Amino acid sequence: MGTVNYRLAELFCGPGGLACGAKMARVFKGQTRYRITHAWATDYDESTCETYAQNITSGNRNTVICQDIRKADLDRLAATSPFDALAFGFPCNDFSQVGKQKGFDGTFGPLYQYGVEVLRRNQPLWFLAENVGGLQTANEGRAFDVILDAMFDAGYDIYPNLYKFEEYGVPQARHRVIIVGIRKDLKLEFKIPSTEPYQNVDVSCRTAIEVPPIGPDALNNEVTRQSEIVVQRLGYIHPGENAFDAEHRMPEAIRLHVQGARISQIYKRLDPDRPAYTVTGSGGGGTHMYHWEEPRALTNRERARLQTFPDDFEFMGSKEEVRGQIGMAVPCRGAKVIFEAILKTFAGIKYPSMDSNLPGRSRRHAD
């Protein structure tokens, strides 16, 4: 059997959600196997890089560069470790609808340019870029078009889509803009993979967390000790509700008494029969995701299951660092769907597809 292998480089690699999905992706055409392997990766956070190396490179840190992207020698990396494809989940802080959405006016918004520069200089065959849904509206919608134009001008046909991962078999309502680019001279057209094959997949968070049961010695499964007032508060909150939904049932002493904006995920319990709400990586009291029945926050392993990481994927760092890593990641199973669609595009294999839900945002050269 022959193998067509695409060596994947990553910027802003995070703990390895995209890389894990890439490793899972396998496509066969006749006697030829199409797959994706690791070339090199960069991130600025030490514990995140340790996690990536532990799980993606079997602990080898030689190709996992822990450095601020603004200081990294990307030309040297590309020269010493050739690659065929690029992935970059450029930082979302300034595009997130949860934050102030500064877009290009923020510290992190302009960092997408480092990915574009790697595309421009090295011309890999294809790329995958990822960001939050708020990218569409940052800077009154102009930021998204500027980014797409830059990618197109770098030499790529551009296929953006807002992927709702719960529609692709992921037990979590996580919506992300994914931009796939294919080098123009290859004259290949990427199709957005259809959600149809996943309509009968059980995406309830109960199944994700309980089937199979998480064992007592599971990795990253430390239980958070809840204060007595939190335990009391959770006792009044029904599955699928937050602290404000249940406020009328609570004694005055344990109500939150929040003035102004009320964040919907504060002390929100999961609805066991539905996909989880979005797993996040930061936030203070009340933002840790809460079990539908037990009076406690989820463990990191339970969060990792909602992100479809395999149980043998070990996160490195403190409990709070691990929480952050899980929250920043792309769901492995969702990434696998998109990577397999890319591999099928290159293999010339047709697959169920649909139109992009971002009409008018694609960029494609004229034949």
Q: What is the pLDDT of residues 166-224, one digit of tens each?
A: 999 999 999 999 999 999 999 999 999 999 999 999 999 999 999 999 998 999 999 98
> Would you place residue 107 in the very low, low, confident or very high pLDDT band (cuts 50, 70, 90)?
very low
What pLDDT sits at residue 74? 82
In the predicted model, is pLDDT for residue 92 greater than 60?
no
DSSP result, 299-343 = PHHHHHHHTT--TT-PPPS-HHHHHHHHHHSPPHHHHHHHHHHHH
Q: Catalogue the active-site residues.
A: 92
Mean pLDDT of 234-239: 97
Q: In this predicted structure, what is the pLDDT of residue 101?
A: 47
H or E element, residue 159: strand 156-164
**Is 50 exceeded by the pLDDT of residue 289?**
yes
Please tell me the predicted confidence (pLDDT) of residue 96. 46
Task: List, for residues 323-332, the tens digit of each pLDDT value.
Answer: 999 999 999 9
What is the model's pLDDT at position 217?
94
Average pLDDT of span 25-42:
96
Q: Confidence class of residue 285 from pLDDT cuts 50, 70 and 90?
A: confident
Residue 107: C-alpha distances to residues 44, 111, 230, 280 (Å): 14, 8, 35, 20
pLDDT confidence of residue 311: 98
Nearest to 176 by CA among 59, 328, 341, 53: 328
CATH code for the part of the protein at 2-202+330-354: 3.40.50.150
Spatial distance between the Cα atoms of 283 and 288, rounded to a whole number of angstroms: 7
Per-residue pLDDT, 139: 66
C-alpha span between 16 and 82 (Å, rounded):
20
Query: Quick one: which of 41, 51, 136 has its CA closest to 92?
Result: 136
Give the mean model confidence (pLDDT) for residues 150-163. 96
pLDDT at 69: 83
Mean pLDDT rounded to a whole number for the chain: 91
To the nearest whole percent, how much of the chain has pLDDT over 90?
78
Question: Domain spans of the chain?
Answer: 2-202+330-354
